[in-house]
Structure 1
Amino acid sequence: MAVLVALGAFLMTLAGGWTAHRVTDRRHLVLGLAGGLMLGVVGLELLPEALEAAGTEVYGVPTALLLFVGGFLLAHLVERLLAHRQAAHGAEEVNGRTPEVGLTAAAAMVGHSAMDGVAIGAAFQVGGGMGAAVAVAVIAHDFADGFNTYTLTSVYGASPERSASSGQGGPPCRRALTMLFADAAAPVAGAASTLFLTLPEPLLGGYLGLFGGALLYLAAAEILPEAHHAHPARSTLLCTVAGVLFIWLVVGAAH
């Protein structure tokens, strides 16, 4: 049952990536929305779940929050190291960005989606009602996952010529499509894995905290500044707010 439900997440992720590709001619709006979705997922879903699941404290600070800060610093460190390596080897950057950053971020999204599948399977092990509630939340926000995965990879991995022509008639970024399909398949694989193993709740909480910190860094330090760099429009800000409100509605509906 869990694997069949995860197929809904597969389709929703592809729908999110398809939407991101179709509107890349308005990149500032896409990035503004993606930043809002990422902020909403971190603040309204990942961090509360991490705090509840991890439970323990280290020197008076919840473990999930320590890992959250660690994830933020890790994402910053990885980006700086990749940028330094590119400069040291004289490699050409794409639009001032290192493609490896987008691939690393997209790979993190794939890992998160796999954990979504694990969450679906674990919930169905508890009961059908719990499984259905978790599935609704996962399937709804997997649209945002697909949207963000495609956007992150295409922003960092496309050439300037491809970026300029990647509107509705432009060719899709091959790396973005590869990571999108990997992200779509990850929940199915995660749900299938629960047929053979059970993930300890503290470990799941720690992972969510670490991933949340990395995702917040990408949203605040990369996606949103890029959205407002060339198009500091009010519509971009409205898209960001709309993304946060959408995740709020999803979380509220799931509970």
Structure 2
Amino acid sequence: MAVLVALGAFLMTLAGGWTAHRVTDRRHLVLGLAGGLMLGVVGLELLPESLEAAGTEIHGVPAALLLFVAGFLLAHLVERLLAHLPRSRLRSSGGTPMAAHGAEESDGRTPEVGLTAAAAMVGHSAMDGVAIGAAFQVGGGMGAAVAVAVVAHDFADGFNTYTLARVYGNARRRALAMLCADAAAPVAGAASTLFFTIPEPLLGGYLGLFGGALLYLAAAEILPEAHHQHPARSTLLCTVTGVLFIWLVVGAAH
């Protein structure tokens, strides 16, 4: 049953990525909406769920919050390391930095960062599938509630996976490949739960870690890029719309 439900997440992820792919002429609006969706997912879904699942405290602070901060810092560290990697590689005869293995910068953007961020989304989607499977292990009602939330927000996951890959200068082919991987990940994750049971505290800690990384990408990369060339009210409206959409989804799921 969990695998069949995960197929809904597969379709919703593809729908989100297709939407992002079709509106490239309104890139600032796409980025504004993506930023709002990411903020909504972090603040209204991932963080509350992580605090509830990982209830232990470390030196007076909930473990989920510590991992949330760690995820934010980890995303910042990875971005900084990858951003400087091409500059330390071979240089052309004219002194222009060149990236190794075809990882060239595009307009000051490093494609590896986008691929790493998209890969993190794929990992998150796999854990979404694991969450569906684990919930169905508890009971049909719990599984249905979790499935509604996952399937609904996987539209945002697909949208964000494609956008994260493209915003750092990756070709559409690479972005579509990451989108397909992200769509298949929930099915694989749900199928894996036929063989093991994931402890709730471990799942909560993961949600906190991923939430911190996602918040960094939204606040430090996606939203500034959205307003860089088009600081319009419509962009801000798209961001608010994204947050409100996730709020409605979370409210409906509960």
For normalisation by structure 1, the TM-score amounts to: 0.91
Does the Cα contact within 8 Å between 1:21 and 1:172 map onto a contact in 2?
A: no
User: Which of 149, 161, 185 is equivalent to 1:149?
Assistant: 161
The CA deviation at 1:24 is: 1.0
Runs of 4+ residues deviating >3 angstroms: 86-92
Does the Cα contact within 8 Å between 1:106 and 1:179 map onto a contact in 2?
A: yes
Alpha-carbon displacement from aligned partner over 1:181-232 (angstroms, at most 9, x marks no partner): 0000000000000100001111111111000000000000000000000000
Match of 2:227 in 1: 228
For normalisation by structure 2, the TM-score amounts to: 0.91
| CA distance 1:88–1:136, change in 2 (3 Å) | closer
Does the Cα contact within 8 Å between 1:31 and 1:227 map onto a contact in 2?
A: yes
Does the Cα contact within 8 Å between 1:124 and 1:131 map onto a contact in 2?
A: yes
| CA distance 1:90–1:254, change in 2 (3 Å) | closer
Q: How many residues align?
A: 241
| CA distance 1:200–1:90, change in 2 (3 Å) | closer
Query: Structure 1 residues 124-133 or 86-95, which shifts more?
Result: 86-95
User: Runs of 5+ in structure 2 lacking a partner?
Assistant: 85-97
> C-alpha root-mean-square deviation of aligned residues, in Å?
2.1
Write the distance in 1 (CA, Å) between the matches of 2:122 and 2:178.
Answer: 8
Does the Cα contact within 8 Å between 1:40 and 1:247 map onto a contact in 2?
A: yes
| Identity across matched positions, percent | 92
The CA deviation at 1:95 is: 2.0
| CA distance 1:40–1:171, change in 2 (3 Å) | closer
The CA deviation at 1:91 is: 7.2
Write the distance in 2 (CA, Å) between the matches of 1:138 and 1:40.
Answer: 14
User: Runs of 5+ in structure 1 lacking a partner?
Assistant: 157-169
The CA deviation at 1:126 is: 1.3
Does the Cα contact within 8 Å between 2:111 and 2:170 map onto a contact in 1?
A: no
| CA distance 1:10–1:89, change in 2 (3 Å) | closer
Does the Cα contact within 8 Å between 1:54 and 1:204 map onto a contact in 2?
A: yes
Write the distance in 2 (CA, Å) between the matches of 1:184 and 1:88.
Answer: 29
